[in-house]
Amino acid sequence: MTTGLHPGGTPQDPPPTGNQPVPRQATIGHGDLPADDRPRSSVITARAAASFDPVGRSVATARSFVRDTLQGWGFADIVDDAVVLTSELVTNAVVHAGTAADVLCLRSDDGARIEVADHYPEREIPLQGAAITMSSPDREGGRGLQLCAALASRWGVDYTPTQKLVWFQLDLPARPVGTRAAGPSLPAALLPLADGRVRVAVVQIDRTGSIASWNEDAEELFGYAAEQVTGKPLTDLAAWPHTPGTSTGIAEALRLSRWEGTYGIRGADGRVTPVYASHLRVRDTGGEPSTVCLLVRDHERAVLQTPLRGPAPDAASTPDGHNADPFEVFIGSPAPDDLDGLLQRTVERARDMLDGDSAFLLLATDDETELEVRASTGLPSARQRFARVPVEAGPGRYGSARMPAVHEDLQAVPGAVPLLSGTGMRSVVTVPLKVEGRLTGSLGVAAEAPNRYSNEEALRLQFAADRIALAVESARLGELERLRRGSLSFLVEASDLLAGTLDRDQTLALMAQMTVPTLATWCAVYTIADQSSDPYLSYVLHEDEEFIDGIKSLLSKIAPPDPVPTPGARVWAAPAEAAHQAALRTSMRSLGLGEPTRRVSSGIGPTLATASAVGGETVVLPLVARNRVIGMLTLGKPTDEHFRQEILELAEDLSRRAALALDNARLYSERTAISQSLQRSLLPPDLPHIEGVEVEVIYRAAGEGNEVGGDFYDLFPIRDGVYGFAIGDVCGTGPEAAAVTGLARHALRLLAREGFSGPAVLERLNSAILDEGARSRFLTLLYGELWPQEDGSAKLKVVCAGHPLPLRLRQDGTVEPAAEPQPLLGVMDDLELYEQTVTLDPGDVLLCVTDGVTERREGTRMLGDDGLTDVLTTCTGLTAGAVAARVMRAVERFASDAPSDDMAILAMRVPGLQKD
């Protein structure tokens, strides 16, 4: 069945399209009125539509749909006739014609019009003016038109080649001015019980859905002052739907011209107060629409609820003589796949059927060893929802789950029904829900007075439970299937996200963000560095960011959960207890009943808010990776809420994936730290200060996470007044090249300080590289020795072994090589190298680079030696640091892609003597 609720408006028939014939009309009814003839002044103020599948149970569902619609409109006077006519017409469509039935209810000021259409494909269109023969009253079917003629104010039939539509109009009886509806007079003992003054919250909602006014009773009921809520959407406060069962959301309900029903309002203390609401759509003198909501506590609904119709003598039978299913008529018409709506409506109607004060319904787990609270009315349902109790044994067992049971006084058998402990209920009747002999749940109705129920009520309730058990089980299995599919999708997405990062902090954030608010209201992640370390609170997240600091502060003051490797979720009561104790102490201090505090007013709000946010059920799941507990994932609910078992199972699957991702991130971080530490050891320490010479180095290693590659540089003192410098390039990049880099740099320092000349240093280094065997790599190297001179110049002796030639920039802007090329290292055993002497005059610059600079590419273009020379030509008069920076900037701008080779730039400039 599909339903739709529409705001008021006159329905328009769609115009014919294409070659579709205009439908002929067969007119039958009072005064031979045309099929669409109704007073033109009648304005349609509301519409409700539904479609029903061609199955037998659709007849009862259609009756409930029409009954609920008309009662919601306040048309109790015509409900009985409308239900009878709808039942017969829908039976003709879904049973006799075997097609789906479409039902449309139209409300006007003077009554209601109901249209029922089928889709029988082979019906002949009757000729205009053809005689219509009524069926015999004794036949099983065919009495629909006779009933329309007998009961409806007006009625008619519309035919098309693919559809027959029967409509009827029921006019409201004339009423004295000011009279709407009234119930029978009742003895005082049977009147609804009101606990003290009945407070009616009057809340006005503007056309945007925001609160425009909020009276004193609303402040008293929900704890908010008017200025706190004015301008906020009602949806921010409404726990919708507290009573599911229709597809109408609160936003749609506020737009209806008239609506009555039950939902919840979350108060200032965080608790949800079940309320019964009556909505009335109005407009002011300027035509601006708004909705006035009258709200009372749910158990005081008799104050506002439209009087229900009284039971008719033949209410349990249909007009064709067949017995209707009394519980299908009783239960109403929630959507077949709306499990929560079906369960909530079941408990409400069961409570009303037995005139109880509360009712509850529990569903059995797959192994039938526990019952889970899924719906209740007249009880603190938020506190009990999804809570579990054992069926057979153990403390708090549910001893009467498998058989009908009547408890005349619960004070005589405490704990018989754990759900009712501390609720004030005295008598209760419970019956099982069974499908094919298997326990699927339990339904109970309770009253505050003892001795209210007998075996007769148990039989009535069992009869109703037997009728609804199959529908409940079918809806439950459908919900489980949807949950399983959603769980698989959730876990796939979670795995992708967790696999996409190796950063520890980001992994922690992802773990929390995936659980909040999908699985829990708040989440905390504890990590354990090693077996000897205590759990450390690493991350806290709440769906409302304002609570994060309060929860973090609260958790930091209590001992962390024990790192138990046992799989599965376990309840952790410490946060809720600590939150409640802190809130209690703060409240007592604010009243002057506890220890004095310097700043009471500033602490009471956050403490109470934190207690409400953390006061529900808290569970801990171990994070186990590679047979070691590396942390705990803590999930929490706000006050009086519990976790569903399906959610806990999903959280357990997520915790296993998250633990492995977190451990991978830890291992990656540790290995990255070790690698970076080793790489930093290959870099030279701080450059020495050389009197009379400016020196600047820029180094870039290729590859993510690499600090050292195949390129290297060094500048070190050899003896007083003499400094060695080197810049080289090992074949390749990465750790293998870095290993040869370390060998070369340390060998250069050692040999140079032993007094060897430049060629001797490089020849011995060449032998050391060749001794590495298969690990050896060829090496290009520029090595030199520097002597600053008293006249402000500098003398250099350089050896260029296969390396890009150093360039000398003179003060006049000319650039020339400062050395000649010689064989590279690591290839031949016997090398004949020589050194060359270069003098840098004041203002001259010596630029040394690796081939990562000159071989910078953009497509087929390469910077090359000529491009580097052109850049250096523009550096006249710049300091060594400015020269190196300009060269690096030119290299980076030459191509858009990230560099694929290591780069090193060494610039030395002789500024000359400073004059006083």
**Concatenated DSSP letters for 457-485?**
HHHHHHHHHHHHHHHHHHHHHHHHHHHHH
Least confident residue range of 3-7, 391-395, 426-430? 3-7
| pLDDT of residue 905 exceeding 90 | yes
Question: Distance between CA 493 and CA 136 in Å, rounded?
Answer: 64
Compute the chain's Rg from CA coordinates: 43
- pLDDT at position 869 is 92
Copy the structure tokens of residue 288: 């601006």
Is the model's pLDDT at 380 over the cut of 80? Answer: no
- Render pLDDT for 822-881 as a digit per residue (tens, 0 to 9): 999 988 888 889 999 999 999 999 999 998 898 888 888 888 889 999 999 999 989 999
Question: pLDDT tens across 792-830, in order?
Answer: 899 999 999 999 999 999 988 999 999 999 999 988 888
Is pLDDT above 50 for 48?
yes
The DSSP annotation for 533-599 comes to SPPEEEEEEESSGGGHHHHHHHHHTSPPPP-----S-EE--HHHHHHHHHHHHHHHHHTT-SS--S-
- C-alpha to C-alpha distance for 702 and 699, rounded to whole angstroms: 10
State the pLDDT confidence band at 378, using cuts at 50, 70 and 90: confident
Is the pLDDT assigned to residue 9 strictly greater than 60? Answer: no
SS3 content of the chain, % helix, strand, coil (to 5): 35, 25, 40
Q: Exposed, middle or buried, 913 (CB in 10 Å: 0-12/13-18/19+)?
A: exposed
Percent of the chain with pLDDT over 70: 77
DSSP one-letter code for 241: -
Q: Which distant-in-sequence residues (6+ apart) come within 8 Å of 498 by Cβ? A: 507, 510, 511, 657, 658, 661
Q: Residues 96-110: what's their mean pLDDT?
A: 86
For residue 50, pLDDT over 70 is answered with yes
Enumerate residues 6+ apart whose C-beta is below 8 A from 171.
78, 110, 111, 153
**pLDDT greater than 50 at residue 353:** yes
Judge whether residue 310 has pLDDT over 50.
Answer: no
How far is the C-alpha of 365 from the C-alpha of 176, rounded, in Å?
56
Q: Across residues 670-684, what is the average pLDDT? A: 72
Q: What was the pLDDT predicted at 810?
A: 92
Are the beta carbons of 419 and 373 closer than 8 angstroms? yes
Per-residue pLDDT at 26 exceeds 50: no
Of 859, 856, 876, 881, the C-alpha closest to 867 is 856
Higher pLDDT, 265 or 22: 265
Q: Is residue 207's pLDDT more than 60? A: yes
Tell me the mean pLDDT in the region 10-26.
39
Q: What is the pLDDT of residue 126?
A: 47
pLDDT at 294: 93
Highest mean pLDDT: which range of 87-91, 473-477, 821-825? 821-825
3-class state of residue 859 by DSSP: coil
Range with top average pLDDT, 65-69, 129-133, 137-141, 782-786? 782-786
Those residues whose C-beta lies under 8 Å from the C-beta of residue 895, and which sit 6 or more positions away, are 856, 857, 858
Joined together, the tokens standing for residue 908 give 């030395």
Residues 647-663: tens digit of each pLDDT: 888 888 888 888 888 88
- 175 has pLDDT over 70: no
Query: Does 325 score more than 90 pLDDT?
Result: no
Bigger pLDDT: 505 vs 242: 505
Q: Confirm if 242 and 262 have CB atoms less than 8 A apart.
A: yes
Mean pLDDT of the region 527-535? 84
- pLDDT winner (highest mean) among 224-228, 391-395, 627-631: 224-228
Run of H or E including 488: helix 455-499
Pick 50 or 242 by higher pLDDT: 50
Contact 801/833 with Cβ under 8 angstroms? yes
Most confident of the following: 163-167, 192-196, 296-300, 808-812: 808-812
- The mean predicted confidence, pLDDT, of the chain is 78
Q: What is the mean pLDDT of residues 515-525?
A: 87
At residue 182 the predicted structure's pLDDT band, cuts being 50, 70 and 90, is: low
For the segment 606-635, the average pLDDT, to the nearest whole number, is 81
Closest listed residue to residue 175, CA positions, set 108, 111, 112, 79: 111
Q: Of 318-332, 377-391, 781-795, give the lowest mean pLDDT range.
A: 318-332
Q: Of residues 884 and 374, which shows the higher confidence score?
A: 884
Candidates 570, 583, 577; CA nearest to 635 is: 570
- DSSP class of residue 645 equals H
The 10s digit of each residue's pLDDT in 438-471 is 888 889 999 988 888 988 888 888 888 888 888 8
Q: How do residues 225-270 score in pLDDT, each as one tens digit?
A: 999 999 999 888 887 655 544 445 677 778 777 777 788 888 988 8
Q: Which residue has the higher pLDDT, 580 or 650?
A: 650
Which residues lie below 8 Å from residue 487, measured CB to CB, with a gap of 6+?
646, 650, 653
CB of 909 within 8 A of CB of 877?
no
Amino acid at 604: I
Residue 191 CB coordination number (10 Å): 9
Asked if the model's pLDDT at residue 124 lies above 60, the reply is no
- Cβ atoms of 441 and 361 within 8 Å: the answer is yes
